[in-house]
Amino acid sequence: MFLDQTIRTNSKLVETAFLLHQGGHILPDTYVVDVDMFLENARRLLQKAEKNHIRLYFMLKQMGRNPYLAKALIEMGYPGAVTVDFREAMVMMQHHIPIGNAGHLVQVPRAMVKKLLEYGPEVITVYSREKIRQIENAASELQCRQALMLRVYSDHDMVYSGQTAGFQLDELKETAAWIRKECPHLDIKGVTSFPCYLYNEAEAKILPTPNLETVKRAAEILKVCGAEISFVNTPSATCCHTIDQMLKFGGNCGEPGHGLSGTTPMHSRKEMEEKPAVVYVSEISHNFMGNAYCFGGGHYRRSHVKKVLVGTGLENSRELTVIPPSDESIDYHFGITDKCAVGDTAVMAFRFQIFVTRSDVALVKGIQEGNPVIVGIYDSQGRRKDL
């Protein structure tokens, strides 16, 4: 999906991937991250957001919840992380990373609510009264105040399977009144939905979904109810281009994830302000019935993987077609449409979500200067492996 653009705009990353694998410095099933390019992308995003008064919380699930990158982003000036689920919140808390928004898609479980409030996230996303009651009970016990972000929806919204939740627009007034009466330690500070922006292939732009209008309507309803809405959170595909769209269509808070690594769907089609900063590295395992097979482990069902470079270096590599495993199968191997030399390096660049894989993550600095140095190897959950 991203291989052509990565070769075109960050060939040094591809060269480094071959070098590290052929040198025995990384194993197959490793995502190699160009840390300097990743941080340059992050800097461009933050500068544009600050110039236009857009608040950004960084999302690192796709990067394996990596604490090294999280610390670097905080040092750069990002206010905090958005934690998609409670396990990601636990990683950020363990490494003392400020949390901007907890519960982005998955609410905080009952047993963790008090601990999270003690840690102090800026907002907690909620989509049920039962969860709000749990947060109120913990806030009352701790004698603290907690800001909430309500996830909202209407009947015409786009909702992914596995993510169905939210307060309907027609129940917002009643919900706001209930919170004001029953939850004296809580304040409604924001509204959100997912996805509010998506890449439109026909127009070759990132454009609003119907969810954006729902979020904007919800913010107005809650303001009439007396809530001080600070966050109109409009996530998905947040990058410099999306910030331009937010200024046109709405929203004041984004959650860059693939924008940081230069790997939103739009980045596969054209050169953007952010450059690709991640490739996937494997190794030819064996040949069978005319096809080669490389080690798997990092496949994501929405990867759109198509091409692979196979060889011992970029200069002598062959571009071949990938045969991905079927969605109902474990990705023990990726197929490749020709025989290859066993032990050769296989480099791909596709849509990834490292936190749902069993891959390693190699963070590499100095790639652009021709002096690559591995600064850490982590597992897919942000635990360092090379200590």
What pLDDT does 387 receive? 62
Do 277 and 196 lie in one domain? The reply is no
Angle at CA of residue 238, ends 215 and 79, nearest 5°: 90
Do 82 and 10 lie in one domain? The reply is no
Handedness of CA 248, 251, 253, 258 (dihedral sign): negative
Residue at token pair 């209407």: 154
Do 142 and 290 lie in one domain? The reply is no
380 found inside a domain: no
385 found inside a domain: no
Provide the domain limits for residue 30: 3-34+271-375
Do 212 and 279 lie in one domain? The reply is no
pLDDT tens per residue, range 302-332: 878 899 999 999 999 999 999 999 888 999 9
Task: Please state the rounded mean pLDDT for residues 185-209.
Answer: 94
Answer yes or no: is pLDDT of 252 > 80.
Answer: yes
Q: Give the total number of structural domains in the chain.
A: 2
Assign 82 a pLDDT band (cuts: 50, 70, 90).
very high
- The number of CA neighbours under 13 Å toward the Cβ of 176 is 26
387 found inside a domain: no
Do 99 and 218 lie in one domain? The reply is yes
Long-range contacts of range 303-306, CB-CB < 8 Å, 24 or more positions apart?
303/1, 303/350, 303/351, 303/352, 304/1, 304/268, 304/350, 304/351, 305/1, 305/334, 305/348, 305/350, 305/351, 306/1, 306/3, 306/350
Handedness of CA 362, 363, 367, 373 (dihedral sign): negative
| Residues 6+ away with beta carbon under 8 Å from 29 | 281, 282, 295, 296, 297, 298, 358, 359, 360
Do 303 and 215 lie in one domain? The reply is no
383 found inside a domain: no
What pLDDT does 378 receive? 98
Do 172 and 303 lie in one domain? The reply is no
Do 254 and 314 lie in one domain? The reply is no
Burial bucket for residue 66 (CB in 10 Å: 0-12, 13-18, 19+): buried
Burial bucket for residue 324 (CB in 10 Å: 0-12, 13-18, 19+): buried
384 found inside a domain: no
Do 119 and 246 lie in one domain? The reply is yes
Q: What percent of the chain has pLDDT over 70?
A: 99
Q: What CATH number is attached to the domain comprising 205?
A: 3.20.20.10
Task: Please state the rounded mean pLDDT for residues 176-190.
Answer: 97
Closest CA to 293 of 258, 338, 349, 256: 338
How far apart are alpha carbons 255 and 260 in whole angstroms?
10
Residue-averaged pLDDT of the chain: 96
188 found inside a domain: yes
381 found inside a domain: no
Domain limit, last residue, from 220, 239, 261: 261
The pTM of the full predicted model, rounded to 2 decimals, is 0.95
Q: How far is CA 6 from the centre of its chain?
A: 19
Structure tokens at 30: 């490793």
In angstroms, the Cα distances linking 145 to 42, 84, 110, 281 are: 31, 22, 18, 47
Do 142 and 283 lie in one domain? The reply is no
What pLDDT does 265 receive? 86
pLDDT tens per residue, range 113-123: 999 999 999 99
Task: Please state the rounded mean pLDDT for residues 211-225.
Answer: 97
Answer yes or no: is pLDDT of 272 > 70.
Answer: yes
Domain limit, last residue, from 224, 240, 261: 261
Assign 222 a pLDDT band (cuts: 50, 70, 90).
very high
Neighbour count for residue 23 (Cβ, 10 Å): 8
Q: Amino acid identity, residue 366?
A: G
Domain limit, last residue, from 205, 234, 261: 261
Do 30 and 53 lie in one domain? The reply is no
Do 123 and 200 lie in one domain? The reply is yes
Q: What percent of the chain has pLDDT over 90?
A: 92
Long-range contacts of range 201-208, CB-CB < 8 Å, 24 or more positions apart?
201/265, 201/269, 204/266, 204/269, 204/270, 205/241, 205/245, 205/266, 206/237, 206/239, 206/241, 206/242, 206/245, 206/264, 206/266, 207/245, 207/249, 208/245, 208/249, 208/250
382 found inside a domain: no
| Residues 6+ away with beta carbon under 8 Å from 377 | 26, 30, 360, 361, 362, 363, 384, 385, 386
Q: What CATH number is attached to the domain comprising 317?
A: 2.40.37.30
